[in-house]
Amino acid sequence: MNRFMGNKSRLFLGTLFALAGIVLSEAHISMIYPLPRGHPFNPNTGFVDYNCRDAPLYDGCGGGRGKTFPCGGYPPDTQVVQSFHAGQVINVRFGNAQYGSPGQPQLTPSSNQARHAGGLCEFSLSYDQGKTFGVFARYHGSCPDMYYDWPVKLPENLPSCDSCIFGWSWINAAATQAEFYMGCADIKIVGKSGAGGVLPPEIANTPLRLANMPGQPYYHAPGDQFGNTRSNGPNPAEVEANMRSATGGSDTTFQAMYNKRKRGSTIRRSI
């Protein structure tokens, strides 16, 4: 199948595959709302990926190195139509090739989501087309999980932007390999000042935790005891923190592990 195709063909095939319930890729998990780059249900995606959209970065999916940092290497949407306001709560949703989208089987508590016992989810913004990302919210332990909404609040002091990136990244807790996942949605933000601004310093100075890719440490993030099935969902304390704090919940436990593993740590997988 030609991976580069027109929007009409993309929309037709995406609908056809969804209605038929065809499984097109190995089950992992990925962000489905806001609609990310590369997803077949995104009518504005600049590149449709039926085979590797749920895969981690640098795992070789599709041949070669596979998806790359940032944003899986996907190009920006052909037009930016998803719009949010500074201070707005976004209920992030997850899915995969088996569950979470129209026409697919209903998710049950025992469904295998391939969520790998959760781990660390970070939510970030880029105002420079993916050159840098600043973290504004986090969930530790049970994220991701398709069974729940994962609310994050866009900081109230964001400037407007006509084309910026909403990023989700995940370091898994349990699997054969420690992995790094990333999904990016092209969005507009109606902010407190005109377009052309930059991220507030408290966000810009909170970088992504990077791991399990070339040049970064190798580790699993702390997770939960639920494996690939339904977890307890978002921690209420972290929901509260993500509603009031520009950088989400406390990251002291993860930071200690990050610092320890970073010293002398190398990638243990074949890239």
What is the pLDDT, as a whole number, of residue 195? 67
**Band of pLDDT at residue 145, cut at 50, 70 and 90:** very high
Q: Each residue of 231-247: pLDDT tens digit?
A: 999 999 999 999 986 45
- The residues near 16 (Cβ < 8 Å, ≥ 6 apart) are none
**191 in the Ramachandran plot: left (φ > 0), alpha (ψ -120 to 50) or beta?**
beta
- Indicate the CATH number for domain 7-262: 2.70.50.70
- CA-CA distance, 215 to 45, in Å (whole number)? 29
What is the pLDDT, as a whole number, of residue 244? 83
What is the pLDDT, as a whole number, of residue 36? 98
Residue with tokens 């949407």: 77
The number of residues making up the chain comes to: 271
What ranges do the domains of the chain cover?
7-262
* Arithmetic mean of pLDDT, 177-200: 91
Q: Each residue of 111-120: pLDDT tens digit?
A: 999 999 999 9
What is the pLDDT, as a whole number, of residue 258? 38
- Per-residue DSSP letters for 29-50? -EEEESPPTT-TT-TT-SS--S
Beta bridge partner(s), residue 126 = 165
- CA-CA distance, 263 to 265, in Å (whole number)? 6
What is the pLDDT, as a whole number, of residue 27? 64
Please provide the average confidence, as pLDDT, over all residues in the chain.
Answer: 83
Is the Cβ–Cβ distance between 54 and 113 less than 8 Å?
no
What is the pLDDT, as a whole number, of residue 147? 94
SS3 135: strand
Task: Give CA angle at 21 (33, 110), nearest 5°.
Answer: 70
- CA-CA distance, 251 to 253, in Å (whole number)? 6
| Whole-prediction pTM | 0.82
**Band of pLDDT at residue 4, cut at 50, 70 and 90:** very low
Q: Each residue of 25-68: pLDDT tens digit?
A: 456 899 999 999 999 999 999 999 988 999 999 988 877 778 99
Residue type, 202: E
What is the pLDDT, as a whole number, of residue 14? 41
Q: Is the pLDDT of residue 86 over 80?
A: yes
Structure tokens at 166: 């909403």
Q: Each residue of 97-109: pLDDT tens digit?
A: 888 677 788 899 9
What is the pLDDT, as a whole number, of residue 250? 45
Is the Cβ–Cβ distance between 199 and 127 less than 8 Å?
yes
Q: Is the pLDDT of residue 217 over 90?
A: yes
Q: What is the CA radius of gyration of the chain?
A: 18
Structure tokens at 218: 């190798």
More confident residue, 62 or 70: 70
- CA-CA distance, 210 to 172, in Å (whole number)? 12
